[in-house]
Amino acid sequence: MAADRPRLLYLAYYFPPSRASGVYRARATANYFAEAGWDVTVARAPDRFFTDVVGSLDESLVATVDPRITTVQPDLDFFPWETDVRRFGPLRGNFPFLAKRLHRWRQRLAFPDAYHSWGDAAVEEGLRLHRERPFDLVVATGNPFASFAAAYRLGKRTGLPYVVDYRDSWTLDLFANADAFGPGHRAWGWERRILGGAAGALFVNEALRAWHAERYPEAAERMRVVLNGWDPDVLAEEPDPRPRDDAPLSYAYVGTITKVQPVKPLFEGFQRMTAAGRHPGARLDLYGHLGFFAGSRAALAAEFGLGEAEPDGIAYRGPVAKAEIGRAYADSDVLVFLAGGSKYVTSGKIFEYMATGKPVVSVHERGCAAEELLADYPLWFAPGSLDPEDVARAMAEAGDAARKTDPETAAEARAYAASFTRYRALEPFEAWCRDLAARGGRR
């Protein structure tokens, strides 16, 4: 290890300017390590992937990355996403079926992930940088899990210790609570190899850690939980927790809306509450993108009726730049925690919600991992089920709490949330990494 500044290679495909939901954990990790004295190099996806393929980026996020961090963009083979025929090249342009077959054949031999070419390039780039000035540690965050394979191969070729951060789950389908791949799929072998060689593996909640520990007992002792958290720079402005006495209540959901979330029960519950005369004039504001990809916007808008004629009292406010999110929270009286999935899903948004000190009403299946965190939050309201009647009751109770909340309760709520900043969660991880780097790869 270098005498005073350990070097970290951080393989984070989704990193600013991407606005993907996982970006905030990656950004906080890189920033925290840079602030803690590490020399951080981040390998991220090429800009073209964010602009041309997913069409989702937030340039304002780039300014929030520590200027001491070096960023590199290993190449990606755009074959699966390329739509510009001019860029196809003579083989694909003239023989598209043959080119596709060749591509599939190459995929069969490579790491089972559409992004494997980026992983290959990240290994080459990592080796080049390592030759110039050696790294002390490699940390990879997935998805995509090609970053895990890249960390594994870098570890093999250089002897560097590597840590894999399961920001998302790979072989577990979080929404179906079932294996994501059939028996015999190559992903299982790769995961076993990667975890077997890793100096550590991180998970966002205990349920996920336990699932993996049970599957891979040989690596269980190196598995840890690093919770998500909220970013203080996003909520710099402390929202006033109390609604104005005369104004109708504003319920808000802030975050990306996807088809796995129980949007329809939320709408029905909200409409039943207002139809029953509870909190007359209340409105439900939805802030955020519709889907993670530009292409999914129209389909989701149509599915949830968020086009030109929206349901009564419900307004889709569109995406909000990260710098403006504090304003969206300040304009809201009750926050709706809308989450899809199961006991393995925490959703990073919940930390931000708690940090506002406002009433939070849950709209998700019972047993969601976030419930463990919300249980001690003094202003949490959970319906017994996703039945619209139950949702309406919980929303009404949360509305009552918003009207009555005293500054002490709000302060108590915020104090509870203060222990869940991203940096708090990263502190022990950074110390552990420093120790790993000092030991030079030995577990």
Partner 1 sequence: MTATQAATQATDRPSPRVVLLLFGNGAVKRANRYAAYACERGVRVEAVVADGQRWRRALEIHPMVAVHSLAAPENRLPGVWLYETLLERVPGGVLRRLDGRVPGGNAAARLHRRATTWLRRNVFWRVYGPVRHHALRPLAVRRLARLDLASADRVVCLEEATVPLGWSIAKRYPHLAVTRAVDPQAAHGDLPVTAPLEPWDPTDPDRPKREPYRPL
Q: Which of residues 271-330 bind partner 1 (CB under 8 A)?
A: 294-295, 297-298
- Smallest Cα–Cα separation from 229: which of 63, 337, 372, 346? 346
Q: Omega before 143 cis (within 30°)?
A: yes
- Look at residue 143 and give its three-state secondary structure: coil
245 touches partner 1 (CB under 8 A): no
Measured from the CB atom, the residue of 94 and 419 that comes closer to partner 1 is: 94
Burial letters 270-284, b for 16+ CB under 10 A, else e: bbbbbeeebbeebbb
Taking CB under 8 A as the criterion, which residues in 47-66 touch partner 1? Answer: 55
For residues 13 and 25, the answer to whether their CB atoms sit within 8 Å is no
Q: In the complex, what is the shortest distance from the CB of residue 298 to partner 1, in angstroms, rounded to a whole number?
A: 5
- What whole-number distance in Å separates Cα of residue 46 and Cα of residue 117? 12
User: What is the DSSP secondary structure assignment for residue 5, as one 8-state letter?
Assistant: -
Residue 100 found at the interface with partner 1 (CB under 8 A): yes
How many positions of this chain bind partner 1 (CB under 8 A)?
18
Q: Using the 8-state DSSP alphabet, how is residue 51 labeled? A: I
| List 46, 64, 77, 88, residue binding partner 1 (CB under 8 A) | 88
CA 253 to CA 202: how far, in whole Å?
A: 28
Q: Please choose, out of 17-25, 83-91, 140-148, 226-234, the segment that lies near partner 1 by the rule CB under 8 A.
A: 83-91
- In the block, tokens 């004039």 appear at 281
* Residue among 85, 109, 178, 236 that touches partner 1 (CB under 8 A): 85
Asked if 84 touches partner 1 (CB under 8 A), the answer is yes
CB of 255 to partner 1, least distance (A): 22
Q: Binding of partner 1 at residue 96 (CB under 8 A)?
A: yes
Binding mask 192-221 for partner 1 (x = CB under 8 A): ------------------------------
* Segment contacting partner 1 by CB under 8 A, of 87-95, 147-155, 156-164, 263-271: 87-95
Residue-wise burial string across 137-166, b where 16 or more C-beta atoms lie within 10 A, e elsewhere: bbbbbbbbbbbbbbbbbbbeebebbbbbbb
- Is the CB of 175 or the CB of 292 nearer to partner 1? 292
Stretch that binds partner 1, among 40-48, 79-87, 145-153, 403-411 (CB under 8 A): 79-87
Give Dmax (Cα) for the chain. 71
Which two structure tokens, joined as six digits, stand for 317?
A: 């406010």
Task: Find, among 84, 163, 153, 87, the residue nearest to 125 by Cα.
Answer: 153
> By CB under 8 A, which span of 76-84, 333-341, 414-422, 423-431 interacts with partner 1?
76-84
What is the contact surface with partner 1 in residues (CB under 8 A)?
55, 82-86, 88, 92-97, 100, 294-295, 297-298
